[in-house]
Amino acid sequence: MKKLLTAALLSAALATPAVADTTKVGFIYIGPVGDFGWTAGHDRARQEMQDHFGDAVETTIVENVDYGADAERVMTQMALSGTDMIFAASFGYGPDVNAVAGRFPNVAFQHATGYIQEHDNISLYDARFYEGRAVLGHIAGKMTETNTIGYIASYPIPAVISGINSAFLHAKAVNPDVTFRIIWTYSWFDPALEADAAETLIEQGADVIMQHTDSTAAVRVAEDAGVMAFGQASDMVDFGPTAHLSAIVDRWAPYYISRVQALKDGAWEAQNSWLGFADGIIEMAPWNDRIPAELQAEADALIASITSGEYHPFTGPINRQDGTPWLAEGEVAPDADLATMNFYVEGITSDLPN
Amino acid sequence: MIRLEKRKEPSTFWRIANPFLAVALTMVAGGIMFAALGKDPIAAIRLIFFDPIFSAQFGSYSRPQLLIKSAPLILIAIGLAIGFKANIWNIGAEGQYIIGALFGAGVALAFFPAPGWYIFPLMVLAGAFGGFLWAMIPAILKTRFNTNEILVSLLLVYVAERILAAMALGLMRNPDVAGFPGSRDLRRYEAAHNAELIAGTGIHWGVVAALVAVIFAYAMMTRHMLGYHIKLAGQAPRAARFAGVSPARLVVVCLGISGALAGLAGMFEVSGPGGQVRIEFASGYGFTAIIVAFLGRLNPLGIVLAGLLLGLTYIGGELAQMMLQLPGASIQVFQGMLLFFLLALDFQTNYRLRLTKGARI
């Protein structure tokens, strides 16, 4: 038995240098790389990472992979083809990542925005999108003339709900009359559905459209209808030069480079990273010229205070939608609350789907 | 002068030959597309059609996966083909698939965590019943109010998707995980798990059910009176009525069978490869099965081949993306070509080109 263990350790030690040559890194995406949004953001980072390492890294991608059996199969095939590290770039891959990671303990798994971590070869990583949403909410609250903001939401999961809450709180802070209209699409990428949702919201009086879905459809609809919109995950200004006020732009590249480097150094281990403005993982797309200069300055100041840690977007007093207290005066939301957030804050009029 | 002439009888030769010809043409046209994208066309075609089965590196994993991917397609397509033969168009198998999965998972979650050999059989019955029930809506609306079953069954898919979302967020949500939609993982509940029957083969109860359905469908269509009635109603509705075939009964039977089989497919998926009720559980099997039914010429054996072929293009398509960096959209175009060429070639099943002397006016 002891001999066997020694042999196993030895072979593991011998296997490590192989990683040092060419590291094979696979990516699976929920949407097409041409979504100009979420998946485009991850693929941008992949290319930057590839450029950084040059020949020392070989990357491969599979796009449009559905959650469930399909994702499990694609990741298994990647592992079988000698991939050292797999980035699963969507929330819903959680159970599949864990199933495959259990069978391939020598492959390092990186799961974006996930919450299930049953094996020590799975790292979770996420961005504090609610920080960016606070800035969007502030701008939206000041820019709206109808006091109605439309929000296209994907799945009722904590990341999306905390985004809505953050945007609402900061819009409300600068405009007490503001109301949010929220439409759930139950999809990350469905341009037709997102366009329909945007049209419905505009009909209901919204003159600013926010989205937590990946396509550019809503920005285009907003441009045609002459209202304002924010892009998602990438700068979508090309799809609505007048309408597009800004966007939270995801910058995963520094993180991807550090994780691949760690693997090459033999220093990779499972982590759970939640990164924000301070880490450079998100930034705002250039302000549209129609945003008045003083509002641009306010937004810049808000970003600066979040970046420095001086201000947290969820600082009490904040009540839940039903009026029960959540955060006391001056209290800052614990990460655990945000990571499992399943309630709206006080003032949002619609009901959370359940 | 070339003239089109309708054949007196559809050509049997072309009916059988066209699918093979369509595959060959797809390989040629797809190869040209891959070459235009700057990829090696031979390598791409080999990755899509051969490597999932024969590659030493992937074969042992992807061969069983082929069964897992194709079994629901075949199971659903068998049911659809029976209806299509009688000109009864169930386009909403996707919805019946979802409801079947929800019924099956509902039984499992109701019993959780009790052990018991009877739980899985109950889930099977519930899954078939759920799909049957969902198909009865267009059936009864058609027989009672003469609505169009194509529209009703299709629109019910969207209703089913909303019910699925509501279940994943509400009633069936896993109470042990705060804040996230989705039910318990049925693969971790032994009494409800549709596991592999023989390890490493990919054969689960859904594969067995597909095989049984193929045999039953074949026997029914060739040996049984019902099969004769279905074919008669499709080819000569008036003659069928004179022969005493009740159109209403046929609508109920055909939609019922296809609904139950789609429901079964959903149930086997949710308790096995799918694992849990998730908002995005439905991945288009119900719609892809329509292609499988036609590619298989509505014939049970043809459907088996067509289901395996389509499953192959999915699995091989992923391999081609991974190994050659082909864009995902090019794989979808490739699959689309297959159907396009088949439909185009089917023209010559019913028509032929004739050379004639002089112009006719």
Residue of A nearest to B182 (CA): A92
Q: Is the pLDDT of residue A332 over 70?
A: yes
Which domain range does residue A260 map to? 2-127+252-275
Where are the extended beta strands (E) located within chain B?
A: 2-6, 351-355
* Same domain, yes or no: A26 and A163: no
Segment B35-45 shows an average pLDDT of 94
CB contact under 8 A, B274 and A64: no
How many angstroms away from the CA of B163 is the closest CA of chain A?
11
The answer to whether residues A170 and A289 belong to one domain is yes
Residue in chain A lying closest to B185 (CA): A95
A88 and A206 part of one domain: no
Give yes or no: residues A200 and A262 share one domain: no
- The ranges of chain B annotated as CATH 1.10.3470 are 40-325
The answer to whether residue A228 is domain-embedded is yes
Burial profile A197-219: b = 16 or more Cβ within 10 angstroms, e = fewer: bbbebbeeebbbbbbbbbbbbbb
Residue B182: closest CA among A221, A265, A326, A67: A67
Residues of chain B numbered 156-185 and touching chain A (CB < 8 Å): 161, 165-166, 169-170, 173, 177-182, 185
Distance CA B78, CA B303 (A): 7
- For B61, half-sphere exposure in the C-beta direction (CA atoms, 13 angstrom radius) is 17
What pLDDT does B283 receive? 83
Which pLDDT score, from 0 to 100, does residue A1 have? Answer: 41
pLDDT at B351: 84
- More confident call, B16 vs A325: A325
Across the interface, of A60, A81, A353, the residue whose CB is closest to B57 is A81
Question: Quick check: B169 and A354 CB within 8 A?
Answer: yes
The mean pLDDT value for A196-219 works out to 96
- In angstroms, what separates the C-alpha of B99 from chain A's closest C-alpha? 18
Instruction: Check residue A16 and give its pLDDT.
Output: 45
Residue A8 has pLDDT above 50, yes or no: no
Q: Are strands B351-355 and B2-6 parallel, antiparallel or unpaired?
A: antiparallel
A140 and A93 share one domain: no
C-alpha A124/C-alpha A126 separation (Å) is 7
Residue A32 lies in a domain: yes
In three-state secondary structure terms, B279 is coil
Phi, psi of A234 (to 5 degrees): -135, 165
Longest pairwise C-alpha distance within chain A: 75
Asked if residue A137 and residue A92 are part of one domain, the reply reads no
For A104-155, the pLDDT digits (tens) are 999 999 999 989 999 999 999 999 999 999 999 999 999 999 999 999 999 9
Domain count of the fold of chain A:
2
Domain shared by A262 and A289, yes or no: no
Is the predicted pLDDT of residue B255 greater than 90, yes or no? Answer: yes
**Which residue in the set A60, A161, A186 is minimally distant from B325, CB to CB?**
A60
- Pair A217, A257 in one domain: no
In a domain, A347, yes or no: no
Residue A261 belongs to some domain of the structure? yes
Which residues of chain B make contact with A77, given a CB cutoff of 8 A? 58, 61-62, 318-319, 322
Is residue A220 in some structural domain?
Answer: yes
Is pLDDT of B58 > 90? no
Q: What confidence tens digit (pLDDT) does each residue in B280-322 have?
A: 888 899 999 999 998 898 999 999 999 999 999 999 999 999 9
**Tokens 């996707």, residue located:** B94
Least confident of A281-285, B197-201, B311-315: B197-201
pLDDT at B11: 81
User: A110 and A56 share a domain?
Assistant: yes
Q: How much of chain A, in percent, has pLDDT values that exceed 70?
A: 94
Count CA within 13 A, CB hemisphere, residue A316.
14
User: What's the confidence (pLDDT) of residue B108?
Assistant: 97
- Show residues of chain B in contact with A46, CB under 8 Å: none
For the domain covering B40-325, report its CATH number: 1.10.3470
Looking at residue B359, its pLDDT comes to: 56
CATH of the domain at A205: 3.40.50.2300
Give yes or no: residues A65 and A160 share one domain.
no
Whether the CA torsion A32, A37, A43, A44 is positive or negative: it is positive
